Amino acid sequence: MTAIVTALQAGLPALLADIEELVRTESPSDDLAAVTDCARVVAGLGTRLTGAEPEWIDGSGRPALRWRFGSGDRVLLLGHFDTVWPVGSLAGHPFEVAGGRLTGPGCFDMKAGVVQLFHALSVLDDLDGVSVLLTGDEEIGAPTSRTLIEDEARRTGAALVLEASEGGALKTARKGMSGYELTIAGRAAHAGLEPHRGVNATTELAHQVLALSALADPAAGTTVTPTVASSGTTRNTVPDTARLLVDVRVATAAEQDRVDRAVHGLPSVVEGASLTFSGGPNRPPLPTTASAELFELARGHYAELGFGPLRGVAVGGASDGNLTAGVGTPTLDGLGAVGGGAHADDEHVVVAELPRRTALVAALVASLRSGPPAVPGRVEP
């Protein structure tokens, strides 16, 4: 273990250079050309550090990269190289290392984690049993890679997710998420001459916002949040259409099912208005039971490496780790860069933590490839 830490500390300048190259290759999820360019950089990085070329998997023009070493069935390392930052963001948020912090669009979420992944593998003598899957659509809900992620997780004993960590805590639980779009159809009329002939979609929208909000259960950790709303065309017209987006976060699958049934069962209130709901559960919860054994293993390695105590935290945000846990694969998340400011102007990585977290990933992979935790049961498609 000491040799791994020494090698990674000595290799910090090379690790920083690789992060710089990846951050400078901008890759917003909705720009397929940019995502593909970034995939090429990631493929080159992985090939250089592991000696193996990836398999390119094309999902509707959006690439994913997969490496399998030997059986590739002991441990899956999972991450993504798309970001929320549009091309041109480097102009206002340039890559920079100063004052012990690394900054730049997408550095924390999660390009530093992708680089750490490969540097962790580069210090291991044997990668048999390891698989790596990196995707380009995590930030938009994994529409093309979800099945790929779930299938890869089913064939491996454990999943390590290189998402970033706020404050250094590993993510031992994540809430599941659902998303809905409500479309309301009413009937237009002149607001001054004959408002009684109209069916006011805005009034119906107000009722539905309150009804949806009432589905939340704070004691169960369930939030139901109406977010984006629109209705109407002009001030003097009874609005005939309205639209509402709703974000739902849940701690348990039972709560996700309850809210889904309730949403689709909501009645209209304004006479003549009709409701159409689309959407539903997007990612299942990642419960503490999915991460408990792996977290204990990580805590032991962290102490053995001389880094002190390691914390775990449950969070409301979802990741592709929700998908691996959802099919029954033990999953530990938040193993990437330590820092903060994801998706925000102050996005940053703590440079001093890079070798330590990379060493932890290497130690976990070395343990898991020789004997992953037992999998109590898989969820088949």
The tens digit of pLDDT for each residue in 236-282 reads 999 999 999 999 999 999 999 999 999 999 999 999 999 999 999 99
Q: Does pLDDT of 381 surpass 70?
A: no
Q: Is the pLDDT of residue 20 over 50?
A: yes
pLDDT, average across residues 318-347 = 96
Fold of 176-282: Alpha-Beta Plaits (3.30.70)
Looking at every residue in the chain, the average pLDDT score rounds to 95
Provide the pLDDT confidence category of residue 370 given band limits of 50, 70 and 90. Answer: confident
Listed in sequence order, the residues at least 6 apart from 210 whose beta carbon sits closer than 8 Å to its beta carbon are: none
Give the residue extent of every domain in the chain.
2-175+285-368, 176-282
pLDDT digits (tens, 9 = 90+) for 41-82: 999 999 999 999 999 998 778 999 999 999 999 999 999 999
pLDDT of residue 379: 56
Out of 3.40.718.10, 3.30.70.3270, 3.40.190.290, 3.40.630.10, the CATH code matching 2-175+285-368 is 3.40.630.10
3 confidence band (pLDDT: 50, 70, 90): confident
In this predicted structure, what is the pLDDT of residue 4? Answer: 87
Residue 380 scores a pLDDT above 70: no
| Residue 373: per-residue pLDDT | 54
Residue 378 pLDDT > 90: no
In the chain, pLDDT over 90 holds for what percent of residues? 94
One-letter amino acid of 216: A
The per-residue pLDDT for range 295-304, each reduced to its tens digit, is 999 999 999 9
Which of the four pLDDT bands, split at 50, 70 and 90, describes residue 372?
Answer: low
pLDDT at 376: 43
* Exposure string over 87-114, b if 16+ CB within 10 A, otherwise e: eebbeebebeeeeebbbbbbbbbbbbbb
- Mean per-residue pLDDT for 219-235? 97
Residues with Cβ < 8 Å from 332, sequence gap 6 or more? 158, 159, 160, 161, 170, 171, 172, 291, 294, 295, 298, 321, 364
Query: Which tens digit of pLDDT belongs to each residue from 115-152?
Result: 999 999 999 999 999 999 999 999 999 999 999 999 99
